[in-house]
Chains A and B, each alone.
Chain A
């Protein structure tokens, strides 16, 4: 239908998450209309990101090397793992690197992270084996970790993952906690579903001190 190069671009864009064939076509034609330097800047930022960014060898967050790229023999650590002011005894376990960003924004947490890179979802073929669970276990003793906070999403996959981990960690000399889940601030109580509302009630706290 289109010239080869155009079709290839549409196909590549169509492989991105959340991009259907129509959006892929629209983005492709948008890119073709861009000034050459703008289009090349996008291409370059993809190349540079792929060269410099890898997984942190310790926590599997995103890790960026200064320049010159990452060599496979010299895996890097992320900024948080390199920061000696962080409390190394507490680890917050999250599903994805974007969750690290979300927790960091709260400024409430001074420990380190462990990114599982997914959540248990048997129907999608993702069992515990596909997550970075073994790597988490390997960190506990050498890093002197005494508390693990399970910070997975409050949905069925996140719950399954948290239940699995708490069972796995239960006999170890560790404190294991799960983040409280409750009502979104700014939401209406009448729209809250029963699981959310039930958990919010459980996690209630005293007011007025």
Chain B
């Protein structure tokens, strides 16, 4: 039985048996790990609320036959502001959902871990909440996956003047090849800033139509890449049903 220590972000959990939970973690050194937290659903569990998404924790685990077992958990950052604001919480859940989809068990991915902890820190600390955070994170995630979008010319022919963006093609298109969503120069410039080393400045963009478009395109492009829908943003922001719609949600 070998023990190891890892820093991790809790991506999600599900119940196991009577009192346990399986905790899906993004670790700094071992990529995505599924581990068991024994007795965590009992009121007096020593884990308490530490192992809930999107908690950043330092763990002592031992390797099990099927699943690893969490022996100790200490909090690195419990993200209290995220737990107390619906928009921040929705953003945090959208981040961990995407990481859970992208990360593979048995594949280390330290840059992804670093990106996730960085994004959560911004989400917990910046005031006002950066409206572009999730969108920017998704674009960076695509770049990290090696499928950065082409935004400096037509993805088909390379022509410099482009008029639309297609999530499936993964880039902008010229008048001749156009399909997808029509986009304006401002939208493309914001995506270029996110991908081109001006992330912090881009995150300072106030909410507005450009930020919304850039975020929507990021979500659709990541969904096209993953070949599945990302649930959090759709369930929490788009159509909560007649009579339940928030007019003030982005």
Contact = CB atoms under 8 A, between A and B. Distances in A.
A122 B48 contact: no
Interface in B130-162: none
A188 B47 CA distance: 12
Contacts of B236: 120, 122, 127-128
A193 B75 contact: yes
Interface in A146-166: 154-156, 159-160, 163-164
Contact of A122 (B18, B235, B241): B235
12 contacts: A122-B231, A128-B241, A129-B241, A155-B52, A156-B52, A156-B89, A159-B83, A160-B89, A160-B93, A168-B244, A184-B44, A196-B48
A154 B232 CA distance: 20
B17 interface: yes
Interface of A: 18, 20, 120, 122-123, 125-129, 133-134, 137, 154-156, 159-160, 163-164, 167-168, 184, 186-187, 191-196, 198
B244 A192 contact: no
B34 interface: no
A187 B78 contact: no
B15 to A, nearest CB: 8
Interface in B203-250: 231-232, 234-236, 239-241, 243-244, 246
Contacts of A160: 86, 89-90, 93
Contacts of B100: 123
A164 B49 contact: no
Contact of B93 (A123, A125, A134): A123
Given A122-B93, A168-B244, A194-B78, 18 more contacts: A123-B12, A123-B97, A127-B234, A128-B236, A133-B244, A154-B49, A156-B53, A156-B89, A160-B86, A160-B89, A167-B86, A184-B43, A187-B43, A191-B44, A193-B49, A194-B75, A194-B80, A195-B78
Nearest to B243: A134
Contacts of B235: 122, 125-129
B44 A187 contact: yes
Contacts of A154: 49
Given A191-B48, A194-B75, A134 B84 contact: no
Nearest to A190: B46
B85 interface: yes
Closest 5 CB pairs of A and B: A127-B235, A193-B48, A122-B232, A163-B86, A129-B241
A126 B75 CA distance: 28
Contact of B85 (A18, A128, A163, A198): A163
Nearest to A162: B86
Nearest to A191: B46
B32 interface: no
Contacts of A18: 15, 17-18
Contacts of B89: 156, 159-160, 163
- Please indicate which of the listed interface residues A122, A128, A159, A168 has the most CB atoms of chain B within 10 Å of its own CB: A122
Contacts of A168: 244, 246
B84 A163 contact: yes
A155 B231 contact: no
A198 B53 CA distance: 18
Contacts of A125: 231, 235
Nearest to B77: A194
Contacts of B232: 122-123
A187 B42 CA distance: 11
B50 interface: yes
A209 to B, nearest CB: 29
- Please indicate which of the listed interface residues B100, B231, B239 has the most CB atoms of chain A within 10 Å of its own CB: B231
A192 B73 CA distance: 12
